[in-house]
Structure 1
Amino acid sequence: MANNAAPLEKLIEEFAKFPGIGRKGATRMAYQVLSMSDEDAQSLAQAIQDAHTRLHRCPVCQNFTEQEICPICAGAKRDKSVICVVEKPRDVQAFERTREYHGMYHVLHGLISPMDGVGAEQLSVKELLARLKDGTVQEVIMAMNPTVEGEATAMYLAKLIKPLGIRTTRLAYGLPVGSSLEYTDETTLYRALAGRDEL
């Protein structure tokens, strides 16, 4: 640790700030950067700088964009009556890859987590509620991960949205294809049972 040159140690420390990256992973990444050509290292640094300075939150859905309004919000063919609420910008990409969802999105940039000091005021809840005022939106889909924080956030938002007369739904949670019933936890089995469809 102490025997690393100062610039290398600083690089390791910066990589270690990423979620899920420990000291070992950060050290590997730092050495990978050192093995790059000057041109590639400059290109990486420029890509980080550009992402940081040129991207901003879309004023409508809060997803990251380079344009004034993101291409999804600006898209004429999107169904403006449905909003899918997600935790992170990456979740939008996951839904878009399915090519099955054609509605709008809203990115919260986190979940309510009192243990981590994150309340509704730190998320883009005000912006979501503002979008629901003009009567265009008929359904809001809660698409958070099935965690304690995800459930708490979905319930909190549903309580705020229900009085507006807008249908609030959540993603069906069930058994993944190819899984075995005997190894499935009780909550997943219950959800799969509750969300069953007719054949």
Structure 2
Amino acid sequence: MVICYGIWYGISTSSAIVSASIILSYLNENNRPYSTQDVFGNLQKQHGFGKTAVVKVMEMLASQGKITEKVYGKQKIYFPDQSQFTDVSDSELKNLDNQISELNSKSQSVQQNCRQLETELKELNSSMTTEELISETEQLKKECKSYQERLQKIKLASNHVTPEEKEKVSLDFGDVPPLPPLGCLISSVPLPWSSG
């Protein structure tokens, strides 16, 4: 019967059989309503179905009674035949609700852990590697050695100003006013301490 419908709907028979089998098992596994666009979007990457082929196969499965088709305005919704599934008792539903609650709690915990690990990863990626730290340490040691050599040369120089000489100069020239601003010199403005 699939072969006849496959030819009638314009799909090659082998393609129709494979597509129908995959789409039917997908609908039965998920047991929820889907539009043709949903099925196409969910299976296209994995199986390479074209949208037209998905529409034709779903119409074919609905006409065979393997899935149910409901029309809401211009939208068609398809879902598996519910008679193939066993009835679920209230206790089983409560058990399933408890499992869902536990899984949601675990999921939130895993997501929080994932966020913490991502933050830690960002911190580690932004910090220096061991090689970079070694290189920077070597560079700083070289700079420190260079500064020490300069300091040693300055200490060994014979033209140091002793604290006594510094104090004597300060006492001798303590009343000298500061140098005038450069503008006064350039514009020939008389200096404030000059006479006239």
Larger fraction in helix: 2
TM-score range with shorter-chain normalisation?
Answer: under 0.3
Q: Which has the larger radius of gyration?
A: 2
TM-score normalised over the length of structure 1: 0.20
TM-score normalised over the length of structure 2: 0.20
